[in-house]
Each structure stands twice: as structure tokens, then as C-alpha cells.
Amino acid sequence: MKSKSNSTKSRKALWSFKSALVAAASSMVMTGAFAASIDGTTSVGIGGKLQSVDMNTHQVTVINARGAAEVFKVGDNVPNLDKIKPGTNVFGTTERAVRLTVLDSATLAATPSPDGNQTVASVASVDGRTVTLRDTQGAELTVQTNSPKAAATVVPGTRVLVDVVNPNELSTGKVLK
């Protein structure tokens, strides 16, 4: 009788060990799937003092609040662009390229960059290509991903590092790598 009891305990221990291995392997596969970055765009408000207008390319150079010059292409629907004088405060919206990098649960804290081009947020919702994020202050950011398959790899509650691509790289035609 004693050997039957030991045999049953051994089978239970082996089954528990196998279950733990399967769970660990599943966790590794999930982490690997989430390790990829998700590229997309978001609409952001911009503002600053107008430095110059190039009517040939329909671009304006704006000095932002940090004192950096940023170049933006302006739509053809902006009236009297040639009449706006340097030093005028201007405001608008533009599309910015972003990259979302999923943070694994082992990453206790990720530090946003001091220049504001990186921040940490949680996925609030996913709808097709649209991922809505919420930062630690409660502000929401909507990202249109480049791929619905990429968006489907995240679920609400997932923590991500949000990288805003340098706007100067966009004006030179560089792409995310």
C-alpha cells in the first residue's frame, strides 16, 4: 500500500512540474510576442513663435516652448500664410510618428525622457488599428497603428513606453527603424 501512495504522490508531483513548465513556456512565448515595437501616428497640438515661412515648400519654422526650432508643412487651406509675420504666436495640430514598446512585468519602472519625447502609459482600449493610451496623469493619447495585427498584440492594462519620433527626422524624410 505504501508504494501505491508514493507512486500517486510522484505522479501528482510530476503533473504539477509539467504544468509549471507549460505555464512558464506560455509566459515566455507571450513576452516574446509583446517584445516587438508597434509603430503608428498620433495627432498632437503644437505652438510657438513663427520664425519663418517658406511659400515655395509651404513650410513654417516655429520656435517651440523649449526654444527649439521645428519645421512643419502647412496645408494649402491656410489662408494668408504669406502675411503672417515672424514673432507671431501660432498654434495648430500635426501628425507625429510614435513607437510603442511593450514593457514586461519585470520592468518595475521606466523613466520618461526629460525632453518629453518618451513617456510611460497603459493601454486603455484597442479598436482595430486604434490604440488608446492613458498616462500616469490620466491624459489620453490615441495612436493609429500602422498594422491592425500589431495593435491586436496588446490588451487593456498593458504598459508601454511611448517614443515620439524626433520631428526633425520627419521633415528630412527619415523613417522609423
Domain ranges of the chain: 1-34, 35-171
What are the pLDDT digits (tens) for 80-121?
888 999 999 998 888 889 999 998 766 555 565 555 678 889
For residue 138, the 8-state DSSP code is S
3 pLDDT higher than 60: no
What are the pLDDT digits (tens) for 123-170?
999 999 999 999 888 889 999 999 899 899 899 999 998 988 765 544
User: For residue 148, which amino acid is it?
Assistant: P
User: For residue 28, which amino acid is it?
Assistant: M
- Calculate the dihedral angle through the C-alpha atoms of 49, 111, 36, 25, rounding to the nearest 10 degrees: -170
Rounded Cα distance between 24 and 30, Å, is 10
Q: What cell does 28 get?
A: 515566455
pTM of the complete model beyond 0.85: no
pLDDT at 164: 83
Element (H, E) at 149: helix 148-151
Nearest to 172 by CA among 58, 95, 71, 63: 71
Chain position carrying cell 505652438: 47
Chain position carrying cell 526633425: 168
- Mean pLDDT is lowest, of 42-46, 57-61, 120-124, for 42-46
- Comparing 11 with 137, the larger pLDDT belongs to 137
Nearest to 121 by CA among 165, 153, 150, 160: 160
